[in-house]
Amino acid sequence: MEFINMEQRESATLLLRELVSIQSFSGEEHARAEYLTRFFSDREINTERTGNNLIVRNRHYNKSKPTLMLNSHLDTVRPAAGYTFDPFNPPVSDTVVSGLGSNDAGASVVSLVMTFLHFYDKPFPFNLLLALSAEEENSGADGMRLLWQQLSDEVQMAIIGEPTGMKAAIAERGLLVIDAVTKGMSGHAARNEGVNALYIALEDIATLRSVTFDRLSPTMGEMKLTVTQIQAGTQHNVVPDRCSFVVDIRPTEQYSNSEIMEILQPRVKSELKARSLTNRSSATPPDHRLMDCVKEMGIECYTSPTTSDWMRITCPALKMGPGESARSHQADEFVLINELEQGINGYIAFIAQLAKQ
């Protein structure tokens, strides 16, 4: 079903191009936040700003009603090497919007903004709250972490806008990055001296790879553990007295990050230190109305391997948005204008269906 006309499609495309042209690295979203504040002000819609985060509520907002939060993020990573054009001033096309953050997550931001405007004046069985967050890409303290302190008592459910091809991510793996340090004793390689920290680290890596986690997630399956970096030694004839390696773990909802650390540390000689314990996994409750709506509309479901601001909130949610995750953070990033249109129509249809329940 089509909800937007050609003029609205062109307006959405123009808005996305404007956002792409405004540099908005994590922690530096102020110009983009100011632009969108003016955008809503021109339409006589008030915005509330917390840092570089924006909150917009529908006209008929009623505190006695439940609230659906529409969220995506304003920030981008820094441009990857290999861009063949200026990432903030890309070539204009009739079919594509290119540039840094066009896919992740500019298309979701614009689709949610247009969806919010579509429903802004309409009476509804629940409130709509548009939350455009900062610092998602670097998991910063002044993004959704800050915003959720303000909104947690107000919001009962959420749609997180990220490039999923408008499929519904009903779960996403968390992220636990561990820095491991192994200590030995240096010595001359020719005389069989010292204690080789590299050998100890290799034994620990083998141990970590063999660890099994018994509690399987019904949606995510097994937890994923991968050693991604290793560093040791100063020169060829010195036994290394120190080795460091990095472990990338994608947890399921069956284990907290703290629990994983408690399981792994006693099994190895290396000292394990988590970079963060807050990047938890998420899953949509199977009996929630969001899941009922997904099933009724026949939307394809999957488990997302990537994290988002979903991990920062505590209410039931799902992740869905236009574009493709594989394009994110790559040079010459782009989103199809047809995908942008599909995102707007898809969000509108989903919320309209949700309102019927």
Question: What does the pLDDT average to over 90-112?
Answer: 97
Please count the CA atoms within 13 angstroms of the CA of 230 that sit on its side-chain side: 16
* Percentage of the residues of the chain whose pLDDT score is greater than 90: 87
CA distance 41 to 34: 10
Count other C-beta atoms under 10 Å from residue 313's C-beta.
23
Count other C-beta atoms under 10 Å from residue 295's C-beta.
12
Q: How confident is the model at residue 56 (pLDDT cuts 50, 70, 90)?
A: very high
pLDDT digits (tens, 9 = 90+) for 281-295: 899 999 999 999 999
Structural contact between residues 47 and 120, judged by C-beta atoms closer than 8 angstroms: no
How high is the mean pLDDT of the chain?
95
Rg of the chain (C-alpha set): 23
Structural contact between residues 309 and 133, judged by C-beta atoms closer than 8 angstroms: yes
pLDDT digits (tens, 9 = 90+) for 236-247: 999 999 999 999
All structural domains of the chain: 6-172+282-356 (3.40.630.10), 176-274 (3.30.70.360)
CA distance 110 to 344: 8
**With helix as H, strand as E and coil as C, how does 131-191 read?**
EEECCCCCCCCCCHHHHHHHHCCCCCEEEECCCCCCCEEEEECCCEEEEEEEECECEEHHH
Q: How confident is the model at residue 28 (pLDDT cuts 50, 70, 90)?
A: very high
CA distance 178 to 69: 32
Question: What does the pLDDT average to over 105-133?
Answer: 97
Which of 42-46, 171-175, 260-264 is the least confident region? Answer: 171-175
| Per-residue buried b or exposed e for 32-53, using 16+ beta carbons within 10 Å of the residue's own CB | bbebbbebbeeeebebeebbbb
Task: Tokens for 231, please give them.
Answer: 């560093």
- H/E run at residue 338: helix 337-356
The pLDDT assigned to 271 comes to: 98
| Per-residue buried b or exposed e for 170-199, using 16+ beta carbons within 10 Å of the residue's own CB | bbbbbbbebebebebebbebeeeebebbbe
- pLDDT at residue 1 above 80? no
Predicted model pTM: 0.87
CA distance 128 to 120: 8
